[in-house]
A and B are shown apart, each in its own frame.
Chain A
Amino acid sequence: MAGLGLVLSIARDALAAQRYGIDVTSHNIANVNTPGYSRQSPVQVTKEPAPCGKLLLGRGVDTTQVIRACDQFVENELMQKKSGMTSYKEMENYVQILEQLFNETSETSTSSMLADFWNLWQDISNNPSGDSERIALYRKSEMLSEHFTRLSEDLTQLGNDLTSAINAGINEINQITDEIAQLNAQITATEASSTANDFRDKRNVLLSKLSQDLNIKAFEQSNGSLTIVTARGCILVNQNSSYHLEVSGDNGDRVVWHSSGDTTVDITNYITTGKLGGWLDMRDKILTKYSLDLDALVKEFIWAVNQQHAQGVGLEGFSTLEGTYAVSSTQEELGTLDSGLPYYNKIKDGTFKIWVYDSSGNVVGEGPTTIFIDANPGGTTLEDLRDTINDKTTNPNLQNLTATIAQGKLEINADAGFTFAFSDDTSNVLPALGINTFFQGSSAGSIAVNPMMDNKDFIAAAQIDTDGSFTSGDNTNAIAIAGLQHISTDIPEWTCNRVNGNTEGSITATIEGYYRSMVGSIGIVSQNISRAKDFNEAMVNRLSEIRDSVSGVSLDEEIANLMKYQHAYSAAAKLISISDEMLNTLLNVK
């Protein structure tokens, strides 16, 4: 419409447009610190010109839409890297706790306790009949056992803490996916008619939070909704629906995806980044490996000491004795897995000797009784062993001993006035049954001193001579046990992989050497995690800068824009007053 009306309408449109500009600028200024906010700007285009006589006159300005400055590619990159960084940050926190558990710088560290243990056996060798040395060894061994059990408990507790964190994480993930599904609906609805800038920003923030929890891939559909897929292709969000993750498994330690029906998919081993990825890596790869390694080390340590200890004799023979390891079935061969003995695989074909002494200390029957052990299938069972000891016709020298089986453990009792002792065990059946052993248990959580050693005289520092005699000044067995410190044996070492499972390898090392390399290995793992975190952090930082350079609000810029729109507004207002004057002039023509 030509004429004065045109100026008024142009002025009106201009005022509106500049006002929209100021509205959008004030929105930007208000949200300068809102995380994930992308600055918005109004798109102002000229209106379609209209013919006016021979001329084509422009009709002013129109604000068509408000767009947000967002580079989705940079946003996606940033999300991925943040996901990696968060995973390393979480791992760093927990691995530093793990490092403290293996803190070797204090006086009560594992390696100093082990060194003291070996030294105390040498002290006993310097005075085999002395009480104070035996008491010192007993106390130290108790402390060492408690130290290992506590370490084992701490590792288990750390694992439980990680599982709780994972559970909390899953709840958070479910909440976020629900919200994203809702936003999807809102965005699809809004974008039917205009742009949904703030909803998209909100969704990006949620998406970023989600990617910090676990690894995801997001795809935008043509209708503007976001489809989010995670490990093993499980869909978390699709259009308006969200699918939840759950905790499952016997120990509540598996993460499963629950479909809309009843199917579940176990995705625990495929979550690679984000907090969950970090926690799962920490728990299932790192913590599991060192727990298994610690147990393997303690199991071997117990065996080494027990095997040598069972070859010796204390200051007096036994009058009654109970083994510490129980079989699960008394009719299974001792040397097989079915026997239920933790050290069944160490039993081999061989013999051991039992010496019985009367009240004056003389050997009954002038000699030992040799018992044969067959470790093959079809070989010696616990019942066989008991029957052999009780067989008074074949083994008359053992007539004053009675063997029984109580709750799977072998018990031997001597008649009043008689004592007995062991020597020359080539079959390893004595330490495997816990007879004449120093420690009991077979893992870091179960190691303890054999209750028979409460009587310190049973600590076997000596060995029985070929004629059955043993003296209080003999330190042969104590020397042999002290010498174990430097003997290398094959100790299992685990490699844990979340996808391929845990494999048991083996290395040859001394007890101390194995522990040292375990501590060193933890240090290296921790170093690597810290370095990876620092690297990722630097990357995230750089990408954040780039993202903010595209989408961030710069107050200086907004202030300048504010001035720009303000001046334009005053000019447009001036247009109205001019147009008003012109109309007045026209109307007042007589």
Chain B
Amino acid sequence: MRVATKTVYDMVKFNLANITSDLNKANKIVSTAKRINAPSDDPIGLTQVLSIKSSLSNVEQLERNIAVGKSWLSASESSLNHVQKLISDAKALCIQMATATTGAPQRLSAAKAVQNIYEEIISLANTDVDGRYIFAGSETGTAPFDQNGIYRGNNTPFAVKIGRDAMAEVGNDGQEIFQPSGAGGTDDIFQTLKDLKSALENNDVSGIKATICSLDEEFDRISAKISDIGSKMVRMEVKEGIFQDLKLANTERLSRIQDADIAEAITTLKEKQVAYQAALASSAKIMELSLLDFL
């Protein structure tokens, strides 16, 4: 086929342009270490990348939620452990004061000890985490129990989101723990302690003996609550473990789709470089030749 002079130069220009464009693309992949630098590089891949990133973001947020939940649960557990110990101290005092060997003066000083226990439990029931009361239901802004043991919170425990459609109760309904039948009822810890104190002050041995039973019940109730909280903690930790695995799996998937295989990328770059050099050399050779050189 007849080849015009112009064609030779046009071909050189066209081929060099193509090769430099490929070289540029290969270079971009190596320098950003990412396969996908624009939606058109791999549209389907990009959609998957965005979806995975969204999942990762969700999982990280849920981990943050669980961290908040765990702090509430461990604060609840530690407070209730103390309450349990105090009740057990009260009971020991009770038994000691109910014996015949103690007299009225010892009972009077025991009454003061019971007052201390009472105030201590009130203060534990008003535990707060970062300024929010954990035994007040969702009325986290006000201390649940006043000095008289009257409950001012509500009955909806605070909950955090630990899954797409899953909530976990991490707060507590203070009333349910400390006075299930309401203030002044037979299972009201505060009432029991008040009764014990007045029995001690009045040197009323049968009164003292009567509170031992209530104290036992209240102790068992607190124990049950503590193990409930314990199992909630376990559930949180299990969830945490699942989320960590999920994060790892998603991060791997993400990397597989969006990250460039460096070895492959560099090999391609080298390949294009060589092609470019070859094209330059051959173009130079072709452009040199002309009939005029030989005349």
Q: Closest approach, in angstroms, between the C-beta of B12 and any C-beta of chain A?
A: 12
B291 at the interface (CB under 8 A from A): yes
Residues from chain A with Cβ under 8 Å of B40 in the complex: 95-96, 99, 522-524, 526-527, 530
B263 at the interface (CB under 8 A from A): no
Interface residues of B in 115-140 (CB under 8 A from A): 130, 132, 136-140
Interface residues of A in 96-125 (CB under 8 A from B): 96, 99-100, 102-105, 111-112, 115-116, 118-119, 122-123, 125
Name the contact of B141 in the complex, choosing from A472, A522, A524 (C-beta under 8 A): A472
A366 at the interface (CB under 8 A from B): no
Residues from chain A with Cβ under 8 Å of B295 in the complex: 559
Residues from chain B with Cβ under 8 Å of A550 in the complex: 2
Query: In the complex, are the beta carbons of A474 and B156 less than 8 A apart?
Result: yes
> In the complex, A551→B292 CA distance in Å?
21
Number of residues of chain B lying within 8 A (CB) of chain A: 57
B227 at the interface (CB under 8 A from A): no
Query: In the complex, are the beta carbons of B5 and A554 less than 8 A apart?
Result: yes
> In the complex, A512→B51 CA distance in Å?
8
Name the contact of A553 in the complex, choosing from B6, B44, B53, B62 (C-beta under 8 A): B6
Residues from chain A with Cβ under 8 Å of B65 in the complex: 122, 125-126
Query: In the complex, are the beta carbons of A126 and B160 less than 8 A apart?
Result: yes
> In the complex, A522→B132 CA distance in Å?
48
Interface residues of A in 112-144 (CB under 8 A from B): 112, 115-116, 118-119, 122-123, 125-130
Q: A479-B167, A486-B164, A512-B54 are in contact. Are A521 and B154 (CB under 8 A)?
A: no
Residues from chain B with Cβ under 8 Å of A549 in the complex: 1-4, 7
A168 at the interface (CB under 8 A from B): no
Query: In the complex, are the beta carbons of A473 and B137 less than 8 A apart?
Result: yes
Residues from chain B with Cβ under 8 Å of A522 in the complex: 39-40, 43
> In the complex, A112→B53 CA distance in Å?
8
Residues from chain B with Cβ under 8 Å of A125 in the complex: 65, 160-161
Residues from chain B with Cβ under 8 Å of A541 in the complex: 10, 14
Interface residues of B in 12-45 (CB under 8 A from A): 14, 34, 36-44
Residues from chain A with Cβ under 8 Å of B158 in the complex: 473, 475
Residues from chain A with Cβ under 8 Å of B147 in the complex: none
> In the complex, A123→B50 CA distance in Å?
22
Interface residues of B in 153-181 (CB under 8 A from A): 154, 156, 158-161, 164-165, 167, 171
Residues from chain B with Cβ under 8 Å of A116 in the complex: 57
A516 at the interface (CB under 8 A from B): yes
Query: In the complex, are the beta carbons of B34 and A105 less than 8 A apart?
Result: yes
> In the complex, A549→B53 CA distance in Å?
55
Residues from chain B with Cβ under 8 Å of A548 in the complex: 3-4, 6-7, 10
A520 at the interface (CB under 8 A from B): yes
A250 at the interface (CB under 8 A from B): no
Name the contact of A519 in the complex, choosing from B11, B47, B53, B139 (C-beta under 8 A): B47
A545 at the interface (CB under 8 A from B): yes
A445 at the interface (CB under 8 A from B): no
Residues from chain B with Cβ under 8 Å of A96 in the complex: 38, 40
Residues from chain B with Cβ under 8 Å of A486 in the complex: 164
Nearest chain A residue, comparing its CB with the CB of B71: A126
B74 at the interface (CB under 8 A from A): no
- Scoring A105, A126, A482 by chain B CB atoms within 10 A of each residue's CB, the highest score goes to A126
Query: In the complex, are the beta carbons of B139 and A516 less than 8 A apart?
Result: no
B270 at the interface (CB under 8 A from A): no
B83 at the interface (CB under 8 A from A): no
Residues from chain A with Cβ under 8 Å of B44 in the complex: 520
Name the contact of B43 in the complex, choosing from A126, A469, A521 (C-beta under 8 A): A521
A544 at the interface (CB under 8 A from B): yes
A to B contact number (C-beta, < 8 Å)? 166
A517 at the interface (CB under 8 A from B): yes
B61 at the interface (CB under 8 A from A): yes
Q: A475-B158, A549-B4 are in contact. Are A520 and B43 (CB under 8 A)?
A: yes
Query: In the complex, are the beta carbons of A32 and B5 less than 8 A apart?
Result: yes
> In the complex, A472→B141 CA distance in Å?
6
Name the contact of B10 in the complex, choosing from A469, A544, A559 (C-beta under 8 A): A544
B290 at the interface (CB under 8 A from A): yes
Query: In the complex, are the beta carbons of B154 and A119 less than 8 A apart?
Result: no
B110 at the interface (CB under 8 A from A): no
Q: A105-B34, A471-B139, A553-B5 are in contact. Are A123 and B64 (CB under 8 A)?
A: yes
A583 at the interface (CB under 8 A from B): no
Name the contact of A552 in the complex, choosing from B4, B156, B160, B171 (C-beta under 8 A): B4
Interface residues of A in 451-497 (CB under 8 A from B): 469, 471-475, 479, 482-483, 485-486
Interface residues of A in 543-580 (CB under 8 A from B): 544-545, 548-556, 559-560
Name the contact of A554 in the complex, choosing from B2, B61, B138 (C-beta under 8 A): B2
> In the complex, A167→B161 CA distance in Å?
57
> In the complex, A475→B295 CA distance in Å?
94
> In the complex, A526→B58 CA distance in Å?
30
Residues from chain B with Cβ under 8 Å of A112 in the complex: 53, 57
Q: Closest approach, in angstroms, between the C-beta of A473 and any C-beta of chain B?
A: 3
A33 at the interface (CB under 8 A from B): yes
> In the complex, A111→B46 CA distance in Å?
12
Residues from chain A with Cβ under 8 Å of B34 in the complex: 105
B280 at the interface (CB under 8 A from A): no
Q: List 27 A-B contacts (CB under 8 A).
A: A32-B5, A39-B4, A96-B40, A104-B39, A104-B49, A111-B50, A115-B53, A116-B57, A119-B60, A127-B130, A472-B139, A473-B138, A475-B159, A519-B39, A519-B46, A544-B7, A545-B7, A545-B10, A548-B10, A549-B3, A552-B6, A553-B6, A554-B4, A555-B290, A555-B291, A556-B5, A560-B291
Q: Could you tell me which B residues sit within 8 Å of A by CB distance?
A: 1-7, 10-11, 14, 34, 36-44, 46-47, 49-51, 53-54, 57-58, 60-62, 64-65, 68, 130, 132, 136-141, 154, 156, 158-161, 164-165, 167, 171, 290-292, 295
Q: Top 6 A-B pairs ranked by shortest CB distance?
A: A552-B4, A523-B39, A523-B43, A473-B140, A526-B40, A473-B138
List 11 additional contacts besides A469-B154, A549-B3; criterion CB under 8 Å. A96-B38, A96-B40, A119-B60, A128-B140, A472-B139, A482-B161, A483-B164, A485-B58, A519-B47, A555-B290, A556-B291
